Structure formats: C-alpha cells, structure tokens
Amino acid sequence: MSGADVAATVLVWTGAAVCVVSAAGALVPRDLLDRLHFLTPVTSVGTPLIGVGLAIAGGWHLSTAMILLIVAAVAPTGPVLAAATARIVAEERGLIPVESPE
C-alpha cells in the first residue's frame, strides 16, 4: 500500500466517522435548532475529508474534478444553509424579530 492509498483511506474513514458521529448526535436533541448544530460538521468537515480522500484514491481524472467541485460547493454553502434554516425557524417561533427584505 502506497502513501497515497494510506492517506486516502485515513481521509475517507475520518470523514465517514465525522458523519456517523454527527448523525448519532443529532438523535439526542429534541429541538430542530439544537439538531441543526450537528449538520454543519457533516458539510464542513465530513464531506471535504471524504471528497479529498476519494480524489486521492481515484487519481486525477475528470471525475476527480467533479468530486472536488462538489466539495468546493458543499463546504461553504452547508453552514450557510443551516444558518438560514435556523433563522427562518427562529423567526417563525418569535425568538427573533422578523426582518423584511429592503
């Protein structure tokens, strides 16, 4: 097994572990706002680790570029989506004032 294979395996398994731990943690809280905190590690850490590990394991091809493009799209937008979802829920529950678009 080469160094690249070891690195790819470690990255994929670490990313998968982050996703599994986050999913297990999301089962504990009853409130949606509390559960959203467990979503961001999946999109911020788990997905990039798995994507980079798959890119290393697969070699540099067009499919590798597609994997890295997806990782580049998911990593920054996942936490933003979670924050936007939390904002909408908090506005609906009256926890924060509703802001109208200007």
* Mean pLDDT across 30-54: 91
Q: 3-state DSSP call for residue 1?
A: coil
Structure tokens belonging to residue 59: 């070699």
Residue 39 gets which letter from DSSP? T
Q: How far is CA 28 from the centre of its chain?
A: 19
**Mean pLDDT throughout 21-47?**
90
Banded model confidence at residue 73, pLDDT cuts 50, 70, 90 = very high
Question: Alpha-carbon dihedral of residues 24, 30, 36, 40, nearest 10 degrees?
Answer: -20
Percentage of residues of the chain with pLDDT beyond 90: 49
pTM score, whole prediction: 0.83
Tokens representing 8 are 């790819």
